[in-house]
Structure 1
Amino acid sequence: MAPTPRRFTFLLLDRFTMLPFAATLDALRLANKMSGHRLYDWRLVGTGGDFATCSNGSRMALDAGLDGEVTVARDEAVIVCGGDDITAQASRPVLAWLRRQARAGATLGAVCTGSHVLAKAGLLDGRRATIHWENHDSFAETFPDVDLHRQVFVDDGSRLTAGGGTSSIDMMLHLIGRTHGADLAAQIADQMLHTAIRAGGDRQRLSIATRIGIRHPRLAAVVERIEANLENPVSPPQLAADAGMSTRQLERLFMRYLNRSPKRYYLEARLARARHLLLLTDLPLIEIAIACGFASSSHFSKCYRERYGTSPYRERGVQKAGTVVALPTRAEVLALAS
């Protein structure tokens, strides 16, 4: 007897990212194909109209809008697909709809920045969750009641979150394997040319050494410690002592491999994080300054202007006025901008 298919409802928010959505949906399609049974059904819903617009400009036809009769049963799953400008997508109708599905007992999931919307609805309070690494710091500051992790995906029972990109594949293979067996999950991974199925505990990003292109283990360890201590900076002499070298040795390593002093590298890392929080949250300037290790907003503003050529007030004001402001690049987030 064929199993009753489980239905997934994909909530496509405006400017959702294509890759994590497509990866999630295609895993379900391949589960049906490889098993020879209709294990899963799915539908696409959005906030209005007949189409949802992706961040790459393409449009996806919707089966229904939230303003219609969209009901979700207890054994179904809702996947929130987020992308760009996620704070603007957490509208009251979206939040209210998600809360209704939670009360009905549906499993709620999110890919990419969709976790922000679940958190905004209060549906991740006290729960373990993840979000794309680029949004991790701003999420942590905005939603302190969420147990946030830097993992590929997090399975917290009736709440499922994936960091974005190909992490959605790993999350879906985890779910499919849990219900229908590891053999089917492996067959799907093989079809997707996904050669290494990552567990939920795996980290999203490459190692420090790989990302910044250095092969010096002690220097990589120092950089990792810097990134982990942006709110409470550690002095270069202390970094050097803990790494088992002199301050002069540490300075030579930074200049040789990163073309800047440890102090400058640290400052750029803190400012990169500050810029991220500035553009992705509504936190007051003083809170951003403190979260990035600055003792006062005036010192923060002075350093920010020297680094980016504008004040934090002006940069945030330009963003709110509707002008497109580039988010920090990966290099800036790593404090490696030239």
Structure 2
Amino acid sequence: MSPSHMEDTPEAYITWLDEVWSRQLNQKQDQGLVIGILLWPDFPLMSLTGIIESLRHAGDFGDQSRQIEGRWEILGNPNVPVKASCGLEFRPTCHYTHPAEFDYIFVIGGLLSQLNKAPLRHRQYIRLARQSSCTLVGVCTGSFILVEEGYLDTLKACIHPYHQRDFEQRFPRFFYTTHKDFSIDDGLITVPGGTSILALMSHIISTHYGADRSAKVSHQISLPERRGVSHFERSALIRHMEIKDPRIQKAIAIIEHAQETPLSVSELARQLGMSERHFSRLFSAEVGVSPREYLLKMRLKLAVWLLQHTSKPITSVAYDAGFSSVAHLSTLCSKRFGITPSEIRKGGSISRVD
């Protein structure tokens, strides 16, 4: 029987709970940023090393690796190792400890086929952590785990493009993005994994220690200065690989990144340091449609998604997608799809928006 399905009596759970509440970290006082880590079977090693290496360099002077102003612990049963997807095994360094001892609890998910094979106590500990003052971080498929636990009902999860279809199939009514390095809201963070974990750690370290310490980490791990679009913003541009001009690539990344904050053509041109006329001409030449038409298409795409996957009033959908009124949205839906927003919500068939 897998650990996640072992029998758990009320008495055993209460005993475990008492142990968790009574445990405290030794020498935690004045240790700065303290991070707890939960590892799922077949977890990605890069996510773990990205967290630890970043905090290792941030928490000490030079390159001496002392946990002076930063601390990390892998939580669980120290007698039971956890195997990474690369085959290496790691033993937890600390029993489940009162979650208030930590600033962040990182949930590093593993292969999707292994999500139900972690110790039962992992999920129970996540529920305790959500009730405390620490922030929960879903890393890679850790976002799937947070959804399963009911914590992302109204939030947008950051998902790796490789897991997009799996996420859609498992959680068809949940909103997600595949072109951001991380998302932070209401004590919850999601990050797709890969190199995005370094971007998140840079943000966390800058928030807690300051920009100078974040810069030190970037230097120590040879993280290049971020210019232009990020890795996940580029992944959103796969269908536009024929676009050669980096300014237009950047424009599309900005549009897709800010779907819930509608932009004007003039604002886009300003952000790119171009005149509106020059920007419009270049965009049309590269993409094949005007920026105004592309913006409209993206707003319609968001509106259709909200109609199909949420119960928001149609008025709210119209405003959230950047339309001036329900009438404006209805007119465009009728013109583009031949049906009204109400009919789309009821399951009416439409052609793909994009």
Question: Which interval holds the TM-score relative to the shorter structure?
Answer: 0.5 to 0.7
Is residue 80–residue 109 contact of structure 1 (8 Å, CA) maintained in 2? yes
Letter in 2 for 1:63: T
Please say if 1:40 is aligned against 2:67.
no
Distance 1:117 1:90 in 2: 11
Task: Give 2:225's match in structure 1, choosing from 156, 176, 196.
Answer: 196
Q: 1:70, CA displacement in angstroms?
A: 2.8
Is residue 35–residue 73 contact of structure 2 (8 Å, CA) maintained in 1? yes
Q: Relative to 1, partners in 2 of residues 1:54 and 1:70: Cα closer, same or farther, differing over 3 Å?
A: same
Please say if 1:116 is aligned against 2:144.
yes
Is residue 138–residue 190 contact of structure 2 (8 Å, CA) maintained in 1? yes
After superposition, the C-alpha distances for 1:234-261 in whole angstroms (9 at most, x for unaligned) are xxxxxxxx947xxxxxxxxxxxxxxxxx
User: Normalising by structure 1, what TM-score?
Assistant: 0.56
Distance 1:210 1:133 in 2: 11
Distance 2:121 2:105 in 1: 15
| Equivalent in the alignment of 1:77 | 104
Task: Give 2:163's match in structure 1, choosing from 115, 118, 135.
Answer: 135
Is residue 35–residue 71 contact of structure 2 (8 Å, CA) maintained in 1? yes
Task: Give 1:51's match in structure 2, choosing from 78, 81, 99.
Answer: 81
Q: Where do residues 177-326 of structure 1 align in structure 2 (5 Å cutoff)? A: 177-197=206-226, 202=230, 204=232, 206=234, 214=242, 243=288
Unaligned runs of 5+ in 2: 1-28, 257-286, 290-348, 350-354
Is residue 56–residue 67 contact of structure 2 (8 Å, CA) maintained in 1? no
Aligned-residue CA RMSD (Å): 3.7
Q: Relative to 1, partners in 2 of residues 1:169 and 1:34: Cα closer, same or farther, differing over 3 Å?
A: farther
Distance 1:59 1:155 in 2: 30
Q: 1:52, CA displacement in angstroms?
A: 1.0
Q: Relative to 1, partners in 2 of residues 1:34 and 1:157: Cα closer, same or farther, differing over 3 Å?
A: farther
Q: Relative to 1, partners in 2 of residues 1:30 and 1:126: Cα closer, same or farther, differing over 3 Å?
A: same
Distance 1:91 1:192 in 2: 33
Is residue 99–residue 123 contact of structure 1 (8 Å, CA) maintained in 2? no
Distance 1:167 1:107 in 2: 18
Letter in 2 for 1:180: Y
SS at match of 2:49: helix
Q: 1:34, CA displacement in angstroms?
A: 3.9
| Equivalent in the alignment of 2:93 | 63
Task: Give 2:122's match in structure 1, choosing from 79, 94, 107.
Answer: 94
Distance 1:102 1:182 in 2: 28
Distance 2:43 2:240 in 1: 29
Q: 1:48, CA displacement in angstroms?
A: 7.4
Q: Relative to 1, partners in 2 of residues 1:103 and 1:154: Cα closer, same or farther, differing over 3 Å?
A: same
Please say if 1:162 is aligned against 2:195.
no
Distance 1:149 1:96 in 2: 27
Distance 1:101 1:4 in 2: 20
Distance 1:4 1:94 in 2: 25
Task: Give 2:203's match in structure 1, choosing from 159, 174, 178.
Answer: 174
After superposition, the C-alpha distances for 1:94-151 in whole angstroms (9 at most, x for unaligned) are 3222111111232100211111111111122212321222112322443355442221
Aligned length: 223
Please say if 1:148 is aligned against 2:181.
no
SS at match of 1:196: coil
Q: 1:206, CA displacement in angstroms?
A: 2.7
SS at match of 1:88: coil
Q: 1:18, CA displacement in angstroms?
A: 0.4
After superposition, the C-alpha distances for 1:274-320 in whole angstroms (9 at most, x for unaligned) are xxxxxxxxxxxxxxxxxxxxx9xxxxxxxxxxxxxxxxxxxxxxxxx
Percent identity between matched residues is 23
Distance 2:148 2:77 in 1: 17
Task: Give 1:13's match in structure 2, choosing from 35, 40, 44.
Answer: 40
SS at match of 2:116: helix
Distance 1:191 1:211 in 2: 35
Q: 1:74, CA displacement in angstroms?
A: 6.0
For the pair shown, the structure with the greater C-alpha radius of gyration is 2
SS at match of 1:195: coil
